[in-house]
Chain A
Amino acid sequence: MSNGDDSPDSTVPLLAARDLAKAHGRTEALRGASVELAAGEILAVTGPSGSGKSTLLHCLAGIVRPDAGSVSYAGERLDALPEKRLSELRRTEFGVVFQFGQLIPELTALDNVALPLMLAGTSRPDAHARAGEWLERFGVRGQEALRPGEMSGGQAQRTSLARALVTGPRIVFADEPTGALDSLATEQVMTALTHTARETDTAVLLITHDAQVAAYADREVRLSDGTVAPEFSTEATEAAV
């Protein structure tokens, strides 16, 4: 990833996006959004529906290319990379969790978690061994042979987290990971995600519309109409009011 010009300065963000713009047809989803994510940081991106949260995540994770602006990851410009390299980055350096749909319905929990390792060339027995450890870590023990359709929503999402983290990524991108869960399952999923991220020093970019979920993060960025809403510190407002 990094090369000689990667400065040892710890304030250089792991992932930085500047003035991102992206339109879907005539709808401008992003209009000059800038975000930074430090190594090991858990950042919540909140905002009303249609504010461009998901599009921001897609641009940051290299799933879509922005129309304008730049995304750099560890000194590498994602927006200029070929698709093959982006695919590889997403497979090895990033993990993704969506609201649902990222597990292959026909594969068992164990095979689903082992899949990213197998894609990287790990043999199936080794991949199974590591996948089993991760499933246990996320409390999906004894469910290895179940398929996504046979699990509860919370179990499926914890399996998805295991799949996202099994390759030891530096960033996990989570788009409404608890959007379809009740509050108890939400608490279990979010606790599992934040604990593991902190233990393994993995950065998390968390998209959510739920303030209680956003409260698991270290910091919050609010999107509105495709741009980042200005931050108000309490002191600044005391002067204003």
Chain B
Amino acid sequence: MRADLRLAWLLTRGSDRREWWRVLLTAVGAALATGLGLVVAALLPLDGYHEVTVGAGLLDEPGTRAGVIVALMLLLIPVGGFLGQCARIGAVHRDRRMAGLRLAGATPGQVRRIAALESGLACLVGSGAATVVSVPTLLALWHHPDPLSWAGMLLVAVLVPVLGAVVSAVALRRVVASPLGWIRRVRPAAGPGRLFRVATGLLALLALYLATTPFLGNPFDFALVPVTVFALCLLAGAVSVWLAGASARQLGEGFAARARRPELLIATERLRDDPWALARTHAAVLLVTVVASGFIGVRQVLLADLHEQHRRGHLAMGLSYYTSGLDLTGAAVLVALALVLTALAVGTAESLATRRRGLAAQAAAGVPHAVLARAMLLETALPLAPAVAVAGMGGLTIGVWYGSATSEHMSVPVPFAALLVPLAVYAACLLAAATSLPLLRRSIRPAELRYA
């Protein structure tokens, strides 16, 4: 184990700048995950009414507190997406290095341990930093924290690095199984796995069941609404991911055959070549689009409802008590959006870095920088358009359904504001992709021609 640790350290220290980026961003992601986990761990043991100085009173009542905890846990999804994207930085290089270790005589177990130690250490740094900041903050807010909170926080601080290590060991299973094959093989354009299809099917059944419950005469349990919204969000997300992948091949082939401009030709042929790559990168974006546009719809319904009750004097608390909850959720959605956009930018940068030798050769042959830049942006813009549209429609449907399910006695306008979400997300995605343009200029430097 000590030899493995030393080797892991040597490999990390001797690795190039991209690997350091991966370590740094992984640490940042781990810090975010730990931070969220720590807050949840601190809140979970609370029972009954507590006066909490933060959170606009939402943390005082057990009911609303549970809602906040669920929202925080949902935020772990985009954080996970971000971490997944970070793991791809320099992944090809790392896989080759690990395969090289295997060829040099390392046992599968050793390679797994070294890889696990590498990412485990990065996650440990992140979780350590988050814990160091969180503990004094908690002590300042809460003079005698529950021992259970301490236990929960310790668990989170340890669990994040351990999970990071386990995930990275699992990710290397193919390298471990066949080191030579992995080095030589060109990765096939893999579609979604069986797990994804089964999960989508189950989600669809669940959503169908839940959505038809009110019409089948069963008394509709109000508690089912959040579950239904959650299931519908996941379903719409899964469908748009699938659509992004499935349409990319047709889009690529259709456009490539007719492309007149070189940048369109390059972008569409890349789409056709690996249609699922972009779907994978964009999965989190699409999920957030569904959630965001769904949220806009739900928010509009809730606000109309609240104003109605406020007018009739039915509200127990001030209007701001209810709206601040909505605002906090909105903030969480924005945080999620920021996270997935960062992940998208990282993904684009990684795709450029992997192809830099080829890009440098194109530039050397006189392909103008502008053509390469436009091809890069088109690669994001083309497949994302239909997927984001479907995701937005899904979110809109969720909003409309929620309105009709919860307020039969009240006519709710269709939340057209939700349609602005996909447009905004689409524009933000293009901007995120455009952050890689300076990297493109650096990637095509002639110095890149010197390396294989």
Q: Do A and B bind each other?
A: yes
Interface residues of A (CB under 8 A from B): 24, 54, 58, 61, 63-64, 84, 87-92, 94-96, 98, 101-102, 104-108, 111, 115-116, 118-119, 123-124, 147, 149, 163-164, 175
- Residue of B186, B273, B363, B365 with highest tally of chain A CB at under 10 A: B365
| Chain B, Cβ-Cβ closest to A102 | B361
Asked if residues B365 and A54 are in contact (CB atoms below 8 Å), the reply is no
In this complex, the interface size class of chain B, counting residues with CB under 8 Å from chain A, is: 20 to 34
Task: Flag whether B371 is at the interface (Cβ < 8 A).
Answer: yes
Known: A101-B357, A107-B269, A111-B265. A119 touches B449 (CB 8 A): no
Note all chain A residues with C-beta closer than 8 A to B269: 104, 106-108, 111
Check if A64 sits within 8 Å of B446, measured CB to CB: yes
Closest Cβ neighbor of A119 among chain B residues:
B262
Residues of B310-368 whose CB lies within 8 A of A: 357-358, 360-368
B265 touches A91 (CB 8 A): no
- The answer to whether B361 and A98 touch across the interface, beta carbons within 8 angstroms, is yes
Contact partners of A90 in chain B: CB under 8 A: 364-366
- Whether a CB of chain A sits under 8 angstroms from the CB of B450 is yes
Q: From A115, A149, A175, give the contact of B186 (CB < 8 A).
A: A149
Contact between chains at B366 and A88 (CB < 8 Å): yes
The 6 closest A-B pairs by CB, nearest first: A91-B366, A90-B366, A106-B269, A102-B361, A106-B273, A101-B361
With A24-B447, A54-B449 in contact, is A124–B365 under 8 Å at CB? no
Q: A96-B364, A119-B367, A119-B368 are in contact. Are A124 and B260 (CB under 8 A)?
A: yes
* B-chain residues with CB within 8 Å of residue A106 when the two chains form the complex: 266, 269-270, 272-273
Instruction: For B448, give the chain A residue with the smallest CB separation.
Output: A101
- Specify the chain B residue showing the minimal Cβ separation from A25: B447
Dominant SS among interface residues on chain B: helix
Among A88, A106, A111, A164, chain B packs the most CB atoms within 10 A around the CB of A106
- Is B259 engaged at the interface, CB distance under 8 Å to the other chain? yes
Q: Which residue of B lies closest to A101 (CB)?
A: B361
Most chain A CB within a 10 A radius of its CB, from B260, B261, B273, B361 = B361
Residues of B close to A124: CB separation below 8 A:
259-260, 265
Let me know if B261 and A118 touch, CB within 8 A: yes
Task: Kindly identify, within residues 246 to 273 of chain B, every residue whose CB is under 8 Å from any CB belonging to chain A.
Answer: 259-262, 265-266, 269-270, 272-273
Shortest Cβ distance from B448 into chain A, in angstroms?
Answer: 9
Contacts of A87 in B (CB 8 A): 363, 366-369
Taking CB atoms, residues of chain A closer than 8 Å to B358 are 101-102, 104-105
Q: Is the CB of A96 within 8 A of B365?
A: yes
Q: Is the CB of A107 within 8 A of B266?
A: yes
Give every chain A residue within 8 A of B361 (Cβ-Cβ): 96, 98, 101-102
Q: Are A119 and B371 in contact (CB under 8 A)?
A: yes
**A91 x B367 contact (CB < 8 A):** yes
13 pairs, CB–CB < 8 Å, chain A vs chain B: A54-B450, A58-B446, A63-B449, A87-B367, A87-B368, A87-B369, A92-B366, A94-B366, A95-B365, A98-B449, A101-B360, A106-B266, A116-B366
Q: Could you list 9 further interchain pairs (A-B, Cβ under 8 angstroms) beyond the known A87-B363, A92-B366, A102-B365?
A: A87-B367, A88-B366, A90-B364, A90-B365, A95-B365, A98-B449, A107-B266, A115-B367, A123-B260
How far is it, in angstroms, between the C-alpha of A107 and the C-alpha of B265 when the chains are bound? 8
Q: Which residues of chain A have C-beta atoms less than 8 A from B367's C-beta?
A: 87, 91, 115, 119
Complex Cα spacing A33 to B369, Å: 30
